[in-house]
Amino acid sequence: MIYINGKWTEGKSSSFSSISPLDNKLIWDGNYASNSQVLNAINSAHAAFPDWNKRGLDSRLKIIQRFYTLLEINKEKIKDLIKLETGKELGDSLSEVGASIAKYKNSLNAFHERTGKSSSPLGKNTQITNHRPHGVLSVIGPFNFPFHLPNGHITPALIAGNVIIFKPSEHTPLVGELMVQLWHEAGIPNGVINLLHGSKDVVRSLAKHPKTNGLLFTGSHIAGMSLSKLMANYPNKILALELGGNNPLVVWNTKKLIKASELIFESAFISTGQRCTCARRLILSNSKSSKKIVELLKKKSKLLSYKEASKDYFYGPLISKTAVQNFIDFQDSLIKIGGKVILRGRHVKSKGNYVTPSIIDMTGVKKIIDKEMFGPMIQIKFVDTFEEATYEANNTSFGLSAGLISDKKELFNHFINEVSAGIINFNTTTTGASGSAPFGGSGMSGNLRPAGFYAADYCAWPVASVVNDNF
């Protein structure tokens, strides 16, 4: 179902399905929006914008608060649906719901702190800065956090006074529909939020239309590059890209080998490696202790289970059969160019899209494949000096997340100034990110418009005024 101007209707274009990665069973089928339905959604949003903006912040917040009350009431339902469509284990799914619920407070604080009204004396006049919403913003959601990440765009955009056209991932249409249903129940005015199912053609139509004012995208760097090229023709539109990463994790001068291996394990394999901040490259000192860390990581990885009630570590499947094949193919490509197998990842064929972790030693391999592998795989490289480790950390076109594990804080002081990434953590996982902080990266990881707390920045634009009160 699609949602336009406050009404649900069937899509009128080609059909598609949602397949659960847990067992590859059909759980939903429907249709993409047609060209005429896309235009209808754009026109509906454009017509709804003036009233939504002019009604003022307090009026908007009453509706937004009702939505968040409904989130709290329906958190178990949301959690179960996330698990069904993504395969996430229940704790991971519940964590996503919790992050979504926390988004309201963080977004409101960010709105006041970063886009509020300010004034200061300017000679005999007063300098005033206000912020205005853009208008119609298109939000393109990913599959790996199908509720939290789109909501991370939608909430700050609505607070600022924008209206929304939301296109969920083709893998998670049910989660997207549930989110919009809750907005409907909260009393969102007709046209303020619209939902369209579609492929890249729908995204391109939304990006190009003269009545849309911006595109907020979360997804692969390949799709992000395509959108960046397209949007270069529309400098009047805001474009926020939240893309992937080929993230490094450096372990250096630590005696806490077990703790280090646990942090590596979680950084690389949480959510089955399907987080853009997961560690993809492990950089270690060429030492006996590092070899021990690798053995501990290998041992821990072998304990992963596919039974949620298991006492061992549990993780879910990859999102699709295609993702499984991409995982196996990429592993084979690393081996082909000289990578040494420490732990070979395999498809657990009796269980949906489950795979076992992959650990590949790439030390001595001169050719690198600078690619984000969205799955439970980590490449290892042993180096002799910390300067080499820092160099290898930067040896990528991406710049989303990086981490250092060390007993020496002074190394982190050097690391944070030398490594190019939007998130740089110390003695914790690479995946740790707070909603009260910016979230985004450099290079192929985005276009320097971080989300999280800084989403307020791309949801409103500043207007400067000089006011003469003594005219």
Q: Give the containing element (helix H, strand E) for 461.
A: strand 460-467
Beta carbons of 274 and 309 less than 8 angstroms apart? no
Say if 304 falls within a structural domain. Answer: yes
If asked whether residues 163 and 293 sit together in one domain, one would say: no
| Total number of domains constituting the chain | 2
pLDDT tier for residue 313 given thresholds of 50, 70 and 90: low
Say if 346 falls within a structural domain. Answer: yes
Kindly name the residue from 85, 89, 96, 276 that is annotated as catalytic. Answer: 276
If asked whether residues 212 and 305 sit together in one domain, one would say: no
Say if 356 falls within a structural domain. Answer: yes
Among 110, 196, 220, 104, CA closest to 154: 104
CATH number of the CATH domain containing 22: 3.40.605.10
The pTM of this model reads 0.94
Among 224, 227, 247, 226, CA closest to 237: 227
If asked whether residues 215 and 254 sit together in one domain, one would say: no
Residue 89: active-site member: no
The pLDDT score that the predictor gives to residue 381 is 98
Among 81, 462, 91, CA closest to 266: 91
Taking only the tens place, the pLDDT of each residue in 327-353 is 999 999 999 999 999 999 999 877 789
If asked whether residues 220 and 131 sit together in one domain, one would say: yes
| Across 162-177, average pLDDT | 97
Among 6, 8, 14, CA closest to 44: 6
Using the 8-state DSSP alphabet, how is residue 347 labeled?
Answer: B
If asked whether residues 39 and 79 sit together in one domain, one would say: yes
Say if 369 falls within a structural domain. Answer: yes
Say if 293 falls within a structural domain. Answer: yes
Residue 276: active-site member: yes
The pLDDT score that the predictor gives to residue 434 is 84
Say if 439 falls within a structural domain. Answer: no
Say if 140 falls within a structural domain. Answer: yes
* Widest pairwise Cα distance in the chain: 80
If asked whether residues 383 and 341 sit together in one domain, one would say: yes
Phi, psi angle pair for 227, to nearest 5°: -65, -35
CATH number of the CATH domain containing 361: 3.40.309.10
If asked whether residues 226 and 277 sit together in one domain, one would say: no
If asked whether residues 426 and 460 sit together in one domain, one would say: no
| Across 6-35, average pLDDT | 95
If asked whether residues 75 and 209 sit together in one domain, one would say: yes
Average pLDDT, the chain: 95
Burial (CB count within 10 angstroms: exposed 0-12, middle 13-18, buried 19+), residue 104: buried
Kindly name the residue from 85, 242, 372, 392 that is annotated as catalytic. Answer: 242
Taking only the tens place, the pLDDT of each residue in 122-152 is 988 999 999 999 999 999 999 999 999 999 9
Please say if the pLDDT value at position 398 is more than 70.
yes
pLDDT tier for residue 39 given thresholds of 50, 70 and 90: very high
If asked whether residues 178 and 298 sit together in one domain, one would say: no
pLDDT tier for residue 315 given thresholds of 50, 70 and 90: confident
Domain encompassing residue 107: 2-243+446-467
If asked whether residues 420 and 375 sit together in one domain, one would say: yes
If asked whether residues 112 and 221 sit together in one domain, one would say: yes
Say if 441 falls within a structural domain. Answer: no
Taking only the tens place, the pLDDT of each residue in 97-109 is 999 999 999 999 9
